[in-house]
Structure 1
Amino acid sequence: MKLLSFFVGIFYIMPSYAIAQVKVPVLCYHNISLEDEGPDNLMHIKGKSFDKQMKCLYDSGYHTILPDQLYNYYKNGTSLPSKPVVITFDDSHDTHFTVAAPILKKYGFKGIFFVMTVPIGKKGYMTAAQIKMLADMGHVIGCHTWDHPHLKGTSGLDVEKEIRHPKQALEKITGQPVQYFAYPFGEWNETVIGQLKVSGFKAAFRLTGKNSEENGIFTIERIMVDGSWVCPGLPSEMKRAFK
């Protein structure tokens, strides 16, 4: 009886994706500048620096995977290619389409584009047609709310405005289910996780805090990528963060 209680206790405290033993690196990019413009730091990366990083991953034998593969790995232990990595983009910047997507194609990579819907079609942001093209090219479109609010500790969250309507809008644009979510500022709480579940999301990605003990698949860890990381810096940082 004591032995049974011991194993029940272990099962209870394990995250919901603990069937998988090894973390998969998930990278997060925001602002990508034109080829010779801008800084290289955690929030900005030049196009040529992004190209160097993707070449580094390619030359190092990494394979990009999409969220359904990651979900099935964490939930069911489904096998993955050697050296898997997930590449994600936040905030709907037009250079995600004009700069990042062609570089991904160059190396045979796919990514997840987490779209904030309020700026769609505005200057500096992707159009609905560009978002649709990304989905048609085999990339995945995810939800990043309507206007990027802080969600940690939010008591008066307008779920329809920030979660359900953006999901529906992106599904209308792409003609595909939108099942993955990235928290603005990487912040989350259990109340928001509950709303994501009932809204039809399968998983979500964070940048801050720890995993949810009960809903680990809704707190998948990501790291922001410094634009100054080049080989062997990027692989080394990935190994350090996801050991």
Structure 2
Amino acid sequence: MKMFLVLLGCCLSLATAAQQLPVLCYHNITTPGQHQNDLLHIDSRQFELQLKTLADSGYHTILPDEMVALLQQHKPFPARAFMITFDDSHDGHYSIAAPLLQRYHFKGVFFVMTVTVNKPHYLSVAQIKALSENGHAVESHTWDHPRPDGYHDWDKELLLPRQQLEKITGRPVRYIAYPFGAYNDSIIRQVKLAGYKAAFQLNRQPAEGKELYTLRRMLVDGRWSGTQLLRKISRYVTP
């Protein structure tokens, strides 16, 4: 009974910690007037406003290695720590987002789908390499962003993208973001077999017993002011 309670306590500690770190998710970073701000688009002025509010409020970024290590050790996150992530490999992540991150001394996590590498309006090999060399994390977003029932070739979707990104950056790729934030038990099993240490979904609570492979991210609305963003993430923050 005592051992059961210890194991239960560890599981609860991991689940609680997984819920405390705000992990922000962005998609399209645009120039002003290029697209209306919404759940999938944010222009550079609004994006900088959000970053400035976070920086002025004492927030600082951590990357997945630190997050996962703290979860595994059942240790709390640093006060006002958060993670900022980018999906779908848009070239604005390099040309617009990365310089603004640097301005506010933040590091980001760029989840790259490799089918788009070197294609117009998407990240190039050189840009991916530069992001990694500048201290950002480059991680996997599968090969071509399949829906949960579209993983017909596991090696193509999970293993080969990891290997390709590792070849580009010269660094391990240990993490993956599920396309559409969607997953099931079969996908989790294959993600583990492909060598990933953890995986990120969207908006839902981490699944009990599978916390490291269902880490929660919050989709950021491009219409939110900095103050609204602070209110949204405050529920996750370690005091």
TM-score (norm 1): 0.90
Q: Percent same amino acid among aligned pairs?
A: 45
Aligned-residue offset at 1:212: 2.2
Match of 2:213 among 204, 218, 222: 218
Q: 1:120 to 1:194 in 2, by over 3 A?
A: same
Distance 1:30 1:218 in 2: 21
Q: 1:183 to 1:242 in 2, by over 3 A?
A: farther
Distance 1:146 1:69 in 2: 26
Match of 2:112 among 94, 97, 115: 115
Q: 1:40 to 1:216 in 2, by over 3 A?
A: same
Q: Which string of whole-angstrom CA distances, capped at 9 and with x for unpartnered residues, describes residues 139-190 of structure 1?
A: 0001000100012xx3863111100011101011111000010000000112
Distance 2:165 2:196 in 1: 13
**Cross-structure match for 2:8:** 10
Aligned-residue offset at 1:81: 3.3
**Cross-structure match for 1:140:** 137
**Cross-structure match for 1:228:** 223
Match of 2:57 among 56, 60, 78: 60
- Tell me, yes or no, if the aligned pair for 2:166 and 2:173 is still in contact at 8 Å: yes
Distance 1:136 1:6 in 2: 45
Distance 1:185 1:156 in 2: 13
Aligned-residue offset at 1:39: 1.3
TM-score (norm 2): 0.92
- Tell me, yes or no, if the aligned pair for 2:18 and 2:211 is still in contact at 8 Å: no
Q: 1:177 to 1:16 in 2, by over 3 A?
A: farther
Determine helix, strand or coil for the equivalent of 2:120.
coil
Determine helix, strand or coil for the equivalent of 1:86.
strand
Q: Which string of whole-angstrom CA distances, capped at 9 and with x for unpartnered residues, describes residues 72-122 of structure 1?
A: 111113454320010000000000000000000000000000000001111
Larger deviation, residues 72-81 vs 16-25: 16-25
The residue type paired with residue 230 of structure 1 is S
- Tell me, yes or no, if the aligned pair for 1:145 and 1:162 is still in contact at 8 Å: yes
- Tell me, yes or no, if the aligned pair for 2:109 and 2:136 is still in contact at 8 Å: yes
| 2:101 aligned with 1:131 | no
- Tell me, yes or no, if the aligned pair for 1:19 and 1:77 is still in contact at 8 Å: no
Q: CA RMSD in A?
A: 2.2
**Cross-structure match for 2:175:** 180
Extract unaligned runs of 5+ from structure 1.
none
Distance 1:140 1:119 in 2: 18
Aligned-residue offset at 1:228: 1.4
Distance 2:3 2:117 in 1: 52
- Tell me, yes or no, if the aligned pair for 1:187 and 1:209 is still in contact at 8 Å: no
Q: 1:219 to 1:15 in 2, by over 3 A?
A: farther
Larger deviation, residues 206-215 vs 190-199: 206-215
The structure with the greater share of residues assigned to helix is: 2
**Cross-structure match for 2:73:** 76
**Cross-structure match for 1:195:** 190
Aligned-residue offset at 1:200: 1.2
- Tell me, yes or no, if the aligned pair for 2:80 and 2:237 is still in contact at 8 Å: no
Aligned length: 238
Q: 1:155 to 1:94 in 2, by over 3 A?
A: closer
